[in-house]
């Protein structure tokens, strides 16, 4: 089994120069908690979550339509490819404590999104699968949900980044 068999292909996106209000609207209309941020060529530039929107509006004391996506998005993108096995998706989610990964091609263009929910659905369909079994989903959920250690700015800037996990733009 590969990522392409479990991912969501229909994914809403926003551009970095769009307003946070537009990102929030897409999340509301599509019942999702994040949207990838893409450039004009469809290459992933970042991810924006509902939490990012809440924190940006709260910390800046401004309405979502007053703020740009680029100022609230995470530009550290952890991604995977169509051919990656579910085990790699689990590992990336666990290591980086993320619930969703954009699926990209060799140019960094968005092909879809694989979420913890997608993995859980695959495990439900194939409960005895060693690749997407329920135990794997439980371990990934526990890793993603554990509290993050508070890091100083210097510690955050010195965290090594796995080259394969970051989209190349």
pLDDT digits (tens, 9 = 90+) for 92-113: 999 999 999 999 999 999 999 9
Q: By the 8 A CB rule, do 35 and 14 touch?
A: yes
pLDDT digits (tens, 9 = 90+) for 112-124: 999 988 988 888 8
* CATH architecture label of 3-165: Roll (3.10)
Between CA 46 and CA 139, with CA 11 as vertex, the angle to 5 degrees is 75
pLDDT digits (tens, 9 = 90+) for 24-75: 999 999 999 999 999 999 999 999 999 999 999 999 999 999 999 999 999 9
Who contacts 160 (Cβ-Cβ below 8 Å, separation ≥6)?
A: none
- CA distances (Å), origin 34, targets 50, 134, 161: 6, 24, 22
- Calculated CA dihedral for residues 32, 141, 7, 56, nearest 10 degrees: 40
Retrieve residue 115's tokens: 């979420």
Query: For the chain, which residues make up each domain, given as ranges?
Result: 3-165
pTM above threshold 0.85? no
Q: By the 8 A CB rule, do 7 and 113 touch?
A: yes
Retrieve residue 149's tokens: 């250690």
């Amino acid at each position: 089994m590969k990522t392409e068999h479990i991912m969501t292909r229909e994914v809403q996106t926003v551009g970095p120069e769009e307003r946070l209000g537009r990102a929030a609207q897409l999340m509301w209309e599509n019942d999702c908690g994040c949207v990838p941020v893409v450039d004009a060529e469809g290459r992933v530039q970042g991810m924006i979550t509902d939490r990012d929107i809440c924190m940006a509006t709260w910390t800046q004391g401004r309405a979502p339509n007053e703020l740009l996506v680029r100022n609230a998005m995470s530009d550290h993108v952890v991604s995977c490819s169509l051919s990656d096995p579910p085990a790699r998706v689990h590992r990336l989610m666990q290591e980086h404590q993320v619930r969703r990964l954009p699926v990209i091609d060799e140019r960094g263009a968005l092909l879809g999104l694989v979420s913890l929910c997608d993995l859980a659905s695959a495990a439900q369909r194939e409960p005895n699968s060693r690749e997407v079994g329920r135990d794997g989903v439980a371990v990934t959920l526990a890793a993603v949900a554990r509290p993050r250690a508070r890091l100083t700015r210097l510690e955050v800037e010195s965290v090594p980044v796995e080259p394969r996990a970051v989209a190349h733009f």
